[in-house]
Amino acid sequence: MSTQTANSPLISVEDYLAGEEIAEVKHEYVAGRVFAMTGTSVRHNRICGNLFALWHNAVRGGNWEVFIADIKVHCFLGRNDLFYYPDLMVCCDPSETATHYREHPCLLVEVLSETTRGNDLREKLMAYTRIDSLQAYLVLEQDRPEAILFRRDDQWTAEVFKDLNDRLELPCGDALAVTLQDIYAGFETAVESGTQD
């Protein structure tokens, strides 16, 4: 992940959003600085695809929207604007009309990699849990079936799931409940064959 140097001028939100519309590489935005995003693995893509397929079909025709990878979430840390590209985002606020981002998600999902793990479990966790509308943040390992579900109750709590039969009851409607088997469908084949994806 590349970043601006310390001497680079800060970029305004408006310039960042305009630049992202024509950029060949996606960038996340943190308080005036932009960070280029790296590509994903086949395993990462398979996990995201499994969830998107399940959820997109489950919420079709309702008030929910499911976005995968290319739609940003706009959030704040203090007075700083942040724009991230979550791997999946579930929203249910019909008043949102921005064409390239959302501000009121119900559920955010990130699939961990070695390069994003620290950011996903620290910076993004801190920023995401400050979004008033967010009810859960789901973090998924890509090299093994394992999930951490951060859920908003009276305060944020975390629960770890490791068994393929574990059922994750997610907010934003009963239709989004999944098992680890659902999430990691097709995963065992890649692991057993020794495929390096």
The backbone torsions φ and ψ at residue 146, rounded to the nearest 5 degrees and listed phi first, read -160, 135
Is the distance from CB of 69 to CB of 48 less than 8 angstroms? Answer: yes
Query: What does the pLDDT read at residue 12?
Result: 96
Query: What does the pLDDT read at residue 1?
Result: 34
Q: Which one-letter DSSP state was computed for residue 171?
A: S
Query: What does the pLDDT read at residue 59?
Result: 84
Q: What residues pair up with 108 in beta bridges, in sequence order? A: 89, 137
The pTM (predicted TM-score) of the whole model is 0.89
Query: What does the pLDDT read at residue 18?
Result: 96
Q: Tokens for 95?
A: 């008043």
Q: Of residues 123 and 59, which shows the higher confidence score?
A: 123
What are the sequence ranges of the domains in the chain? Answer: 40-192
Q: Which one-letter DSSP state was computed for residue 132?
A: T
- 189 pLDDT higher than 80: no
Dist. CA 136–CA 151, nearest whole Å? 4
Query: What does the pLDDT read at residue 195?
Result: 43
The tens digit of pLDDT for each residue in 162-181 reads 999 999 999 886 678 999 99
The tens digit of pLDDT for each residue in 57-112 reads 888 877 889 999 899 999 998 899 999 999 999 998 889 999 999 999 999 999 99
Q: Of residues 60 and 33, which shows the higher confidence score?
A: 33
CATH architecture of 40-192: Alpha-Beta Complex (3.90)
Q: Band the pLDDT of 47: cuts 50, 70, 90.
A: very high
Q: What angle do CA 26, 30, 34 make, to 5 degrees?
A: 40
- Tokens 């009276």 locate to 154
- 5 pLDDT higher than 90: no
Q: Band the pLDDT of 51: cuts 50, 70, 90.
A: very high
